[in-house]
Structure 1
Amino acid sequence: MLYRKATFKDVETMYTLINAYAEQGLMLGRSRNMLYECLRDFVLAEDNGEVVGMGALHLVWDALAEIRAMAIAPHATKSGIGRSIVQALIEEAKTLEIKTIFTLTYQPGFFIKQGFKELSKDQLPHKVWKECINCTKFPNCDEIALNIEI
């Protein structure tokens, strides 16, 4: 398994995988525009040339980042790829001197197993919500907030 940063050639694969889960209501969809703009945020898992997983570390504010757009190919779930991506993103956050990582998710159990703790969305700084205005679920977000101090 190769873990690497995303490149422009990965965008269509990323778009397809993320939005397949979004169509099932398991995560929020992402536009191609968002993927291009945030490409440097993404770490991908590649197995024999096939992208089988991804996640992004998005910088939000002073020493605060979000793990977002976690998606693992259906045939590769339960294989530790997601856990490895989260650990790679945490290590990247440490090099940037990030102190807190949060996530908004429909899959809280996965993140709890990685050491994240559930919290009220009200505890997140207002800066977190700047992109939510464009979400189809705004202002009625039904994702669960979790964070981890590193």
Structure 2
Amino acid sequence: MLMRYSKILLTAALGVLILLVAINNVTDYNTNYEVVSHVMSMDQVPTGSPLEWRAVTSVTLHRMFYAFIIAIEFSAAALILAGVWRLLLARKAQATQFNAAKDVATAGLALAVGLYLFGFMAVGGEWFQMWRSGPDMQQAAFRFIGCAALVMLFLGQRDD
């Protein structure tokens, strides 16, 4: 029973973390919007770089991209926390039922890993060369990937 409660607790903690990130991005919109705009504009890439053509300078596209990030964060948090509720309801059930209850939380965790791995590491980090833009946001993204992936692996272990 301790392992089930541990899985529920860690999954809930990550769901709350992602929810807080999304809420912060809405309530303190400009802080991270400026980072997204800065990265997408690629204004730290040296002039004459063969990668300059990737830059997106449209404010509308910056806002759309940032809104998409926030929507994915809220979606991931909602799935994770809904999954936690399902896990709580199944915590005393047979192993097959508890294992089946993991799917919604797992989907949310996968969405979170996908956002930070693809959105921040691949698109932001490599496509837009985010690593050239001052504070290394890839480090923060990697922390989210690590936490979410570890929780997903732990949750995914079959209960007997």
Kindly indicate which of the two structures has a greater share of residues assigned to helix.
2
Kindly indicate which of the two structures has a greater share of residues assigned to strand.
1
**What TM-score does the superposition give when structure 2 sets the normalisation length?**
0.27
